[in-house]
Amino acid sequence: MNADGSGVRLLTPKLDRSIDALEWAGNGAIYVQYDDRGATKVARVGLDGSMKTVAEGLTAGAHFDRPYTGGGFSVSANGKIAYTAGSASEPADLWVTGGGAGKRLTDLNGTWIDAKAMAPVRKLPVTAPDGRAIDAWLVTPPGLKPGQKVPLILEIHGGPNAAYGPSFSTDYQLYAAHGYAVLYTNPRGSTSYGEEFANLIDRAYPGTDYDDLMAAVDAAIADGVADPNNLFVTGGSGGGVLTAWIVGKTDRFKAAASQKPVINWISEALTMDSTPFTSRYWFDKKPWEDPMSYWKRSPLSLVGNVKTPTLVVVGAEDYRTPDSESEQYYAALQIRGVPTAMVKVPGASHGGIAARPSQSAAKASAILAWFDKYRTDAKKDAPLVSD
């Protein structure tokens, strides 16, 4: 648009993705960052509407516990782009490109990585019951032999409007080193697949995203890696909601760990740190106007079905999904006699439950200890870190 606000025009009418960051490059172009099918890219957008990808493979440079999409970039006056990029087996480093192949400038974790046996990560084809293709990735223990079956952890991303990608994850590497395969997916509602896919769960969450997750587990079993008798499930925030929802719908998992979940949408809507948000954007009416809509989508409504031993994890200073949500679920499971435990991470907020290395390690260790308690394969007592 012009400096006075007139002449507004859309430059990317055909881009069905969200722009996450942008930088001017003189008066001739804008550089933008966006996610596409779990991959983060930088593109040059001309003021004539032309668009060209100039960098790919961006990964987040600050948070490593789970493989969320993200990254950072900057543009110099002469058009060179500096950006963060890594892989599923390496944390982010600094790269630079002038428009061609990127050049790696740093090797921040080389000495540390070289001394580790990293778990391989590969794409797993998944088809939902309605025929949609669902992106999923399978992390397998280092040294896994062909045909060998191992316990599987389904780990679910938060949001739920967010996305995972083929990025480095300390949690997954730790789980794999302990003998677990890890399955992670972008079920419907995930970003980076366009507006229609993201809005499939609009005012219908949790819902058919459950079917996508179960299809992914079935695919991991069919692949020959996952032991169907040793399945586990965990996730944080939106993933914590779905974890609690899953154990209310099926008994196929040996144990679960619901992290910082919403358990009761009515109480969450009235106690979270942005109280107008839930009732404004996730439901059609206020809680007192249509309480049954909130109840039907609350994991607490299914707690009478739960038989799966379920750990509850939350930050002591979580105001997004307040610790009272986790306390409700813990109490309900206790009343029903379902094996449960509750972990509060001291000083941790919602987004910062793993902000400190000590918090991240404690969270992952608690989940591993809970799963190991119910694991029945021969490697139950394996060391925490592989040889």
CATH code for the domain of 228: 3.40.50.1820
User: Does 105 share its domain with 139?
Assistant: no
Q: Could you tell me the pLDDT band of residue 386, with boundaries at 50, 70 and 90?
A: very low
Residue 3 in any domain: the answer is no
Mean pLDDT throughout 111-138? 95
Give yes or no: residues 70 and 184 share one domain: no
Residues 93 and 168 in one domain: no
Q: Which domain holds residue 101?
A: 19-113
Residue 86 lies in a domain: yes
At residue 114 the predicted structure's pLDDT band, cuts being 50, 70 and 90, is confident
Is residue 283 one of the residues assigned to a domain? Answer: no
Residues 46 and 153 in one domain: no
In a domain, 386, yes or no: no
Residues 167, 169, 192, 237: which is the catalytic one? 237
**Final residue before a domain boundary, out of 63, 89, 113:** 113
Same domain, 84 and 191: no
Q: Convert the pLDDT of each residue in 148-163 to its tens digit.
A: 999 999 999 999 999 9
pLDDT tens-digit readout, 45-69: 998 889 999 999 999 877 788 999 9
Q: Is the pLDDT of residue 271 over 60?
A: yes
Same domain, 131 and 227: yes
Q: What mean pLDDT, rounded, does the chain reach?
A: 93
317 in the same domain as 201: yes
Q: Domain check: are 254 and 127 in the same one? A: yes
**Is 276 domain-assigned?**
no
Last residue of one domain, picked from the residues 84, 113, 142 = 113
- pLDDT of 165 reads 95
pLDDT in tens, 338-380: 999 999 988 888 887 777 888 888 889 999 999 999 999 866 5
Model's pTM, two decimal places?
Answer: 0.94
- Give yes or no: residues 129 and 87 share one domain: no
Tokens 């580790």 belong to: 116
350 as an active site residue: the answer is yes
How many domains, the chain? 2
Tell me the three-class secondary structure of the chain, residue by residue.
CCCCCCCCCCCCCCCCCCEEEEEEECCCEEEEEEEECCEEEEEEEECCCCEEEEEEEECCCCCCCCCECCCCEEECCCCCEEEEEEECCEEEEEEEECCCCCEECCCCCHHHHHCCCCCCEEECCEECCCCCEEEEEEECCCCCCCCCCEEEEEEECCCCCCCECCCCCHHHHHHHHCCCEEEEEECCCCCCCCHHHHHHHCCCCCCCHHHHHHHHHHHHHHCCCEEEEEEEEEEECHHHHHHHHHHHHCCCCCEEEEECCCCCHHHHHHHCCCCHHHHHHCCCCCCCCCHHHHHHCCHHHHHHHCCCCEEEEEECCCCCCCHHHHHHHHHHHHHHCCCEEEEEECCCCCCCCCCCHHHHHHHHHHHHHHHHHHCCCCCCCCCCCCC
Tell whether 359 is covered by a domain: yes
Report yes or no on 282 lying in a domain: no
Instruction: Give catalytic status of residue 190 as yes or no.
Output: no
Among 113, 129, 153, give the residue marking a domain's end: 113
Are both 166 and 193 inside the same structural domain?
yes
Q: How far is CA 253 from CA 24, 213, 248, in A?
A: 50, 13, 11
Q: What is the pLDDT of residues 277-323, one digit of tens each?
A: 999 999 999 999 999 999 999 999 999 999 999 999 999 898 999 99
Cβ(93)–Cβ(54) below 8 Å: no
Average pLDDT of the residues in 253-260: 97
Residues 135 and 212 in one domain: yes
- Same domain assignment for residues 345 and 196: yes
CA gap 254, 112 in Å, rounded: 34
Structure-token pair, residue 200: 């499939």
- pLDDT of 26 > 80? The answer is no
Give me the catalytic one of 267, 279, 350, 360.
350
Determine, yes or no, domain membership for 379: no
